[in-house]
Amino acid sequence: MSSLEARNASVKRGGRTIFGPTSVQIGAGEITALIGPNGSGKSTLLRLFAGLWRPDSGEMLLDGKAIHSFDRKEMARRVAFVPQETQIDFAFTVAEILAMGRYAHRGRFAPQSRADHDAINSAAAYCDITHLIDRAINTLSGGERQRVLIARSLVVEPEFILLDEPTANLDIHHALDVLQLCQSLSHKGKTVIVATHDFNLVTRYVTRLILLQAGLLIAEGPREDVLGPRTIQEVFHVDAEMIPTKTGHPVYVFHQHTPS
Partner 1 sequence: MSAVAQTHSLANVSSRSRLRLSIFYGFLLPIVLLSLLAGVAIGSTHISWSTILRVAELKILPQAWTSSVHITKADEVIVWLIRVPRVIVAFFVGAGLAAAGVLLQALFRNPLAEPGLVGAGEGAVLGGVISFVTGWSATSVLSLPLMAMVGALLALFIVYAMSTRGGVTPVATLLLAGVATSALLSAVASLLLSVNIVNWQIAQEIVFWMMGGLDARTWTHVWLCAPFVVLGIAASLIQTRDLDLLQLGEETAASFGVDVESSKRMLTLTAAILTGAAVAVAGLIGFVGLLVPHAVRLILGPSNRTLLPASALTGGAFLVLCDLLARTIHPPTEIRLGIVTALCGGPLFIYLLLRQYRGVANG
Find the binding residues for partner 1 in span 180-199 (CB under 8 A): none
Q: Using the rule CB under 8 A, which residue among 4, 60, 75, 232 binds partner 1? A: 75
Q: Between 142-155 and 114-126, two packed helices, what is the crossing angle to 10 degrees?
A: 140
Helix (H, G, I), strand (E, B) or coil at 203: coil
Q: Using the rule CB under 8 A, which residue among 121, 200, 231, 233 binds partner 1? A: 121
Find the binding residues for partner 1 in span 4-23 (CB under 8 A): 13
The answer to whether residue 104 forms part of the interface with partner 1 (CB under 8 A) is yes
Find the binding residues for partner 1 in span 81-100 (CB under 8 A): 81, 83, 85, 88-93, 95-97, 100
| Distance from chain centroid for Cα 217 | 17
The answer to whether residue 80 forms part of the interface with partner 1 (CB under 8 A) is yes
- 148 vs 182, beta carbon nearer partner 1: 148
Strand order in the sheet with 3-13: 16-27, 3-13, 57-62, 65-66
Q: Using the rule CB under 8 A, which residue among 65, 72, 237, 249 binds partner 1? A: 72
- 165 vs 209, beta carbon nearer partner 1: 165
What whole-number distance in Å separates Cα of residue 89 and Cα of residue 188? 32
What whole-number distance in Å separates Cα of residue 215 and Cα of residue 229? 21
- 105 vs 174, beta carbon nearer partner 1: 105
Cis amide bond preceding 250, omega within 30: no
Backbone angles phi, psi at 186, to 5 degrees: -70, -35
Tally: H helices and E strands in the chain: 9, 12
**Which residues of the shown chain bind partner 1 in the complex (CB under 8 A)?**
13, 47, 50, 52, 72-73, 75-77, 80-81, 83, 85, 88-93, 95-97, 100-101, 103-104, 106, 108-109, 117, 120-121, 124-125, 130-131, 133-134, 136, 138-139, 156
